Chains A and B, each alone.
Chain A
Amino acid sequence: MTLVMVVDDDQDLAEMLGIVLTSAGIDVDLVSRGDEVLEVFRANPPDLVLLDVMLPGLNGIEVCKLIRAESMVPIVMLSAKGDTIDVVEGLEAGADDYMIKPFKHPSELVARIRTRLRRSSAGLSGRLTLADLAIDLVAHQVTRGGKLIALTRLEFDLLVALAKEPRRVFTRDALLSEVWGYRHSTDTRLVNVHVQRLRAKIEHDPENPEIVVTVRGVGYKAGVTGGV
């Protein structure tokens, strides 16, 4: 059974989230303080973390960085503010997605969690090569010259989406729908931030990317220079 760790200092909201997720068939671990997260996380590693930004002890952004430092688990931030800075900070700290309170529908939350748990690359098998990267779709591993590059699930999915169709230029909306599972485009910053994070891990020189190339005014595509 799937386990989701819900980190929120509001007891009532946490309990409510618990009810909604449990009734959707998801196990829930409730944590109310930022500085308790890591302990619980290590004791009982969840499949996904639902993380509030404002937390006592240690704020959500810091918690996100700590989790990222030791795990590639999907993290969805919860924010009460639609504040741009909060959202971008959260994404840069390593969150895969975010939701702004109040959510339109609980079902939206469940759907979002399921999307994050499901792999967009699931069902594919074999190997893909992109420049000097070897992508193993079964083991979910990316290697360069036999050396493993640690990618989060989302980053892996993003890379696979681009690598599957090397000649296609993906608009940000297309990536949002294929990788994040959004039906309507919402926030293209999600794509921008994650492309930056992915580049930082796989590019030789992130300032002059050769693997994930920006197509000005359109979006991104996989760079095929350096062999297929």
Chain B
Amino acid sequence: MTRSSRVARFRNSLAFKVIFSTVLLCLAVVWLTGSALYAQLSDGIRKVKVESSVAESRSAIFNAQYRIILGSDSSAKAIKQIVDDIIVNSPSVIGTAINGREVALLRTRSTPIGAINYQETSNQMLVSSIPNELRLRVQKSISTEWSETLIRYSDGTKVSALAVGEKITIPKAGDYEMYLLFSLDRQDATLVLLSRSLFFTGIVLILLIALITFLVVRQIVRPVREAARIAEGFTAGDLSQRMQIKGKDEIARLGNAFNEMALSLQNQINRLENLSHVQQGFVSDVSHELRTPLTTLRMASEVIYATREQFDPNIARSAELLVAQIDRFEKLLEDLLEISRFDAEVAVLEIVEFDVVALVEQCISDLSLLAKERATSIELIHFGEPGLIQADIRRVERILRNLLTNAIEYSDSKPLKVRIVSSENEIAVGVRDYGIGLDEASAYRVFDRFWRADPSRARVRGGTGLGLSIALEDARLHHGELEAWGRQGKGAHFVLTLPRRSGGEVISRPIRLKPEDFSSTS
């Protein structure tokens, strides 16, 4: 099996479709719930961090303000020392150095630059780390304000952080702002971990769902596949198979319904087969029952016929008619039996290879006597080489004889033309007469059983009215075609087209049905 066909088979399977759509839907659901969960969790984590940071900042700033106020009597230098302590030592004071806390004391713009600038940041953090927007808020507010930002160091590194600030007053210097910046690295790391685990949980969940779907679908699909297999078996003629039924669920009901259908189908088929057997048996019985009296009749009539010269002319003529009618009766019986064999589909081909040209020549020579009686002649046109064909010679001969006999009978004493043309796949025999012809509507009906072109017109003497029907059935049995063309007063054209190889089909038409010597204007 090739890769593409395997893919195609997979695509065509119900299991694939169900699993595919389930996985797709689950993916959407997992995606939505995952992102909602993530958003909620990250919000919560931030909120906790903000709360703790703000509280911590408040106490630290209060502490700083307290220490500055305590030292307010000292010199500006001493206060600077205190501020330095607060900035540099604040981590150790608060004990959160591991949290990466940074501190900044910034001069509010309105405060004049005095002798000593107390503005200072810890760890070479740049002043630009504190957003202007936050500073404006702090300057206006009387309590703490916060904002998210990036800590920028002088060496260029950046760390995402939370900045919390409050006004602070330094005696003899004026208003300053104190900021504490808390690194959010840990929270970010937690969130990354969280999103990763959510992602992997989602993948595993989807895989599990796919597996579960596969197992569930298989439970349903297996009986469906079995039903399909059995149905295919039915099509192929195996009527004996049934589905196995377990439990009482819907699948079991399907199985039951399927088996009941199978049984009823089997019964129907058996009934039809029986009917067909009865029909065949009947045909065989009719054959036997009619043939025995017919044999007696025939011998009796022959005995009378053989001595007809001893009787007066009327009785002698009666004896002749009797013999002729018994012949006709027998022919009719044969034809009816043949038709019933076609109807019962018991007609079989006995295929041999033979030369159609030779067979046509044989038929023409056999019918030369009849042609002479009807004052006509037959011209055979063919392309020299033998036309070999694999077919049932008896049936093909019967078709040819029938077409030729009809053509002679209706020839109106004008010569006939028989053409044989072969192609690679088929051989066609065209029988053209120029006699009384058929009208267009009749050309379609000539193959009907017991059909007469004109009910008032006498049938060909001795004809059964079944000849062309049998010829058509014979042609069809070979997968061949037999068609008729005709115009009132312009004669008729019958074309037999047969595939050259047994079991082949007619693809092209070596002889056109509409005769070449006919144009609609003539």
Contact = CB atoms under 8 A, between A and B. Distances in A.
B284 interface: yes
Interface in A1-58: 10, 12-13, 16-17, 19-20, 23, 54
B84 interface: no
Which of A23, A54, A80, A81 has the most chain B CB within a 10 Å cutoff?
A80
A13 B303 contact: no
B287 A106 contact: no
Which of B298, B299, B302, B330 has the most chain A CB within a 10 Å cutoff?
B299
15 contacts: A10-B293, A13-B292, A13-B295, A16-B296, A16-B300, A20-B303, A81-B284, A81-B287, A101-B294, A102-B294, A102-B295, A102-B330, A105-B302, A106-B298, A107-B302
B291 A106 contact: no
A151 B299 CA distance: 34
A9 to B, nearest CB: 9
Contacts of B225: none
Main secondary structure of the interface of B (DSSP, over half): helix
Interface string B8-33: 00000000000000000000000000
Given A101-B294, A102-B294, A20 B287 contact: no
Contacts of A83: 284
Q: Which 10 A-B pairs have the closest CB atoms?
A: A102-B295, A80-B288, A80-B291, A101-B295, A13-B296, A106-B299, A101-B291, A102-B294, A16-B296, A16-B299
Contacts of B288: 54, 80-81
Contacts of A19: 299, 303
Nearest to B288: A80
Nearest to A99: B295
Interface string A109-152: 10000000000000000000000000000000000000000000
Contacts of B294: 101-102
Contacts of A23: 303
Nearest to A12: B296
A102 B298 CA distance: 8
Given A80-B288, A80-B291, A101-B291, A106 B330 contact: no
B296 A106 contact: no
Contacts of B303: 19-20, 23, 106
Interface in B257-296: 284, 287-288, 291-296
Contacts of A101: 291-292, 294-295
B298 A103 contact: yes
Which of A13, A81, A107 has the most chain B CB within a 10 Å cutoff?
A13
Contacts of A20: 299, 303
A12 B289 CA distance: 13
Which of B292, B295, B330 has the most chain A CB within a 10 Å cutoff?
B295
Contacts of A105: 302
Given A16-B295, A106-B299, 6 more contacts: A12-B296, A13-B292, A80-B288, A81-B284, A102-B295, A103-B298
Contacts of B300: 16
